[in-house]
Chains A and B, each alone.
Chain A
């Protein structure tokens, strides 16, 4: 494997890790506040569809993004209604949201566009375009360029804005959770809602705030899939990314910077799985693509089994809060 192969792999890993990371941070806010969310997948899917649809209709990816966020937040509010207001089962609610999104996106896109559950191909302002850095060479001219140029042009230059924003968003998430009043309260309500309640703060209000933040981040993740990574929505395009994000969240033990690492790792595995030729070149044995697909899940089970450190979820996670003393 050449240096350039590696760069291409990392380049692809960055792109693939970005939606995982956004969804993972979404889950981080929700679960840190004590609301388990296995509906990340559904929220991303809803946003992917609506962002692509609205971007196709309006020709503006930014309006599309807003619409996507709206769809995702709506799903979050359903989850909140079930799990916060009506103290229902958070797991069941999450399952329902995944199916709701899987069904609705196809039914509506068929009705709007009649293309078998697709949205029209996006181009130009309807998409998040790669941002080339000054002086960067196109890929086909890079094979003979020097390593510094290769690094600059292939790996650093030419990503969409969300790839560049990923690390700032991790920082912002960390900052909000650990350096602000809101973050302190969100973390507290996920550990011991009674402590928050006796301190005179609304548990319900905080938890709704958390699921809405979760909706916004999932919305961006979904919109990224349909308008940046791809050029339009196709049926089931999230392809389990919501669950990989969930796995990454557990793998990262509910911490933002560790989430970045976990998502990079899982993104790298996804990138690798797309290039079986490189694996063969690298390891000289044929590594099965399916193993790479399964690796995030296997690693998460290992973590959950407590074989490598212990993943302690927020203590009040999954339980509706009932006031008592």
Chain B
């Protein structure tokens, strides 16, 4: 019996109190494609970083082709025949394809012979695996699909037998993705072993021979792909979490507050992030937007928050919002009655080195109540307001002078929420309200959101947590690849169907 190409035994890794990988074991046989699927933060990338020598595992062993192998650094990983295609490519943008392939695998101090040899081998590899590419093209001039091809060629040039791809289709168009899978099939046929890390069910079903499911740092199942179904995988991936019950009465939707019509966003890098999105949020309802991170939800929030330009129209209380970015910013959006709890409170919602009270004024620092006179701010008033808000939102410790970074995630989020909700906005944008928040605080935060809805406010909720979407939303829209895949009512759908939509598959058709 042949030894597995790669075998992990009991890998564990913790970052401080967070257990990113817990006793993970996998066997991958040579000449197969093995998928690893799991939600964001399930620990997939950590595991692969351990394999590539970026992190040192706290416990566990790695066997390559039956041999126990230590991987202290990337050099050792390369020597062991492991090639890695990272989610964010590690290419030198102003180098040519050839130079990128050669970098680190040169044959001698002079570059000429190395480049000549690489050019020849590249042609051979291109023929062998149908990976044709112009070796003299400069990376920044070629598309992401081609760039990924360069990453694959880099690994092959280093004679990798095991190729790990981390979320390889995240940046690809569907056509490019299809091409990638043909290439992977080809590599497999030539005897290479491939590990495909993804959160997309369709890719697992189409491309892999075996699949492992990760959830919260643990390996929950390893099965043959042929023996499973997308529905079963979705369930294993999302898990039957205990639904957090939120006491809420049926919504009484009123007039439309926010009307988005054919919104399109292209980011600075030229990537089309939001595609023809149209949606309406009415007074007194929560519209939940489900989706895996990176499918355009963040950009949608940024546009609504006033700091990302877009095309299309958005009406707030019937009046159009400026989308060019010239006549609008976070301040003007607040003036229009839009409050925003951003997805990443540490990067956007708070200034971690500011005191709690300074953060409570953040975004509302022009508010008249916070000014002592024309020149000076009334810090005492802000502190008093902070103290009151901390009391109402049960922020612990209730100390306005503490820096934001010294609060727990839940209490940080309560500070942001208190700041935004108590502005009595017509529309509340909420991104990932309970990311990194402890259970106790989750319940409280959910109650606050529903309470605001019951006051007749419109709420747009973006979350990657399906149970959160299910328990809070009055309507659910699912975003995938910048588009809205469909809208469902929570009572008419289930996590399985939503999971399929989030993975880009139309639930009814599957």
Interface string of A188-206 (1 = CB under 8 A from B): 1001101111111100000
The answer to whether the Cβ of B93 comes within 8 Å of any Cβ in the partner chain is yes
In the complex where A188-B103, A201-B104, A325-B49 touch, is A195 in contact with B90 (Cβ < 8 A)?
yes
The answer to whether the Cβ of A180 comes within 8 Å of any Cβ in the partner chain is yes
Interface string of B9-24 (1 = CB under 8 A from A): 0000000000000000
**Contact B78 A200, beta carbon cutoff 8 Å:** yes
The answer to whether the Cβ of A183 comes within 8 Å of any Cβ in the partner chain is yes
Interface residues on chain B, number (Cβ under 8 Å): 34
Which residue on chain A has the smallest CB distance to residue B84?
A198
The answer to whether the Cβ of A43 comes within 8 Å of any Cβ in the partner chain is no
Interface string of B90-116 (1 = CB under 8 A from A): 111111000110111110111110100
**Contact B109 A180, beta carbon cutoff 8 Å:** yes
Q: Give Cα distance in the complex from A194 to B54, angstroms.
A: 11
Interface string of A162-192 (1 = CB under 8 A from B): 0000000000000000111111110110011
Pick the contact of B106: A184, A196, A198 (CB < 8 A): A184
In the complex where A179-B111, A198-B74 touch, is A185 in contact with B103 (Cβ < 8 A)?
yes
**Contact B54 A199, beta carbon cutoff 8 Å:** no
**Contact A199 B111, beta carbon cutoff 8 Å:** no
- The minimal Cβ–Cβ distance linking B271 to chain A, given in whole angstroms, is 19
The answer to whether the Cβ of B73 comes within 8 Å of any Cβ in the partner chain is yes
Q: Write out the residue numbers on chain A whose beta carbons fall within 8 Å of the beta carbon of B75.
A: 200-201
The answer to whether the Cβ of A323 comes within 8 Å of any Cβ in the partner chain is yes
The answer to whether the Cβ of A315 comes within 8 Å of any Cβ in the partner chain is yes
Which residue on chain A has the smallest CB distance to residue B45?
A325
**Contact B54 A184, beta carbon cutoff 8 Å:** no
**Contact A200 B110, beta carbon cutoff 8 Å:** no
Q: Give Cα distance in the complex from A199 to B49, angstroms.
A: 14
**Contact A195 B100, beta carbon cutoff 8 Å:** yes
**Contact A192 B91, beta carbon cutoff 8 Å:** yes
- The minimal Cβ–Cβ distance linking A59 to chain B, given in whole angstroms, is 37
- The minimal Cβ–Cβ distance linking A175 to chain B, given in whole angstroms, is 10
Q: For chain A residues 202-244, which have a beta carbon within 8 Å of chain B? A: none
**Contact B110 A196, beta carbon cutoff 8 Å:** no
The answer to whether the Cβ of B86 comes within 8 Å of any Cβ in the partner chain is yes
**Contact B90 A200, beta carbon cutoff 8 Å:** no
How large, as a class, is the contact surface on chain A?
Answer: 20 to 34
Q: Give Cα distance in the complex from A183 to B92, angstroms.
A: 14
- The minimal Cβ–Cβ distance linking B488 to chain A, given in whole angstroms, is 35
Pick the contact of A192: B52, B92, B112 (CB < 8 A): B92
Q: Give Cα distance in the complex from A196 to B91, angstroms.
A: 9
**Contact B93 A200, beta carbon cutoff 8 Å:** no
Q: For chain A residues 280-320, which have a beta carbon within 8 Å of chain B? A: 315
- The minimal Cβ–Cβ distance linking A234 to chain B, given in whole angstroms, is 41
- The minimal Cβ–Cβ distance linking B392 to chain A, given in whole angstroms, is 38
In the complex where A198-B86, A199-B74, A323-B54 touch, is A182 in contact with B92 (Cβ < 8 A)?
no
Q: Write out the residue numbers on chain A whose beta carbons fall within 8 Å of the beta carbon of B77.
A: 200
**Contact A199 B104, beta carbon cutoff 8 Å:** yes
**Contact A195 B103, beta carbon cutoff 8 Å:** yes
In the complex where A179-B112, A184-B111, A199-B74 touch, is A315 in contact with B104 (Cβ < 8 A)?
no
Q: Write out the residue numbers on chain A whose beta carbons fall within 8 Å of the beta carbon of B92.
A: 187-188, 191-192, 195
Pick the contact of B102: A184, A187, A192 (CB < 8 A): A184
- The minimal Cβ–Cβ distance linking A16 to chain B, given in whole angstroms, is 33
- The minimal Cβ–Cβ distance linking B98 to chain A, given in whole angstroms, is 10
Q: Give Cα distance in the complex from A183 to B104, angstroms.
A: 12
Q: Give Cα distance in the complex from A45 to B106, angstroms.
A: 38
Q: Write out the residue numbers on chain A whose beta carbons fall within 8 Å of the beta carbon of B102.
A: 184
Q: Write out the residue numbers on chain A whose beta carbons fall within 8 Å of the beta carbon of B45.
A: 325
Q: Write out the residue numbers on chain B whose beta carbons fall within 8 Å of the beta carbon of A185.
A: 103-104
In the complex where A184-B99, A191-B93, A323-B54 touch, is A196 in contact with B104 (Cβ < 8 A)?
yes
**Contact B111 A180, beta carbon cutoff 8 Å:** yes
Q: Give Cα distance in the complex from A15 to B360, angstroms.
A: 63
Q: Give Cα distance in the complex from A187 to B104, angstroms.
A: 12
Q: Give Cα distance in the complex from A191 to B96, angstroms.
A: 13
List 11 A-B residue pairs with CB atoms under 8 Å apart, sorted by A's residue number: A179-B110, A179-B111, A180-B109, A181-B111, A182-B109, A185-B103, A185-B104, A194-B90, A196-B104, A199-B104, A325-B49
Interface residue ranges, A against B (CB under 8 Å): 178-185, 187-188, 191-192, 194-201, 315, 323, 325
Known contacts A181-B111, A184-B111; 17 additional CB pairs below 8 A are A180-B110, A181-B110, A181-B114, A185-B103, A188-B103, A192-B91, A196-B104, A198-B86, A198-B90, A199-B74, A200-B75, A200-B77, A200-B78, A315-B93, A325-B49, A325-B86, A325-B88
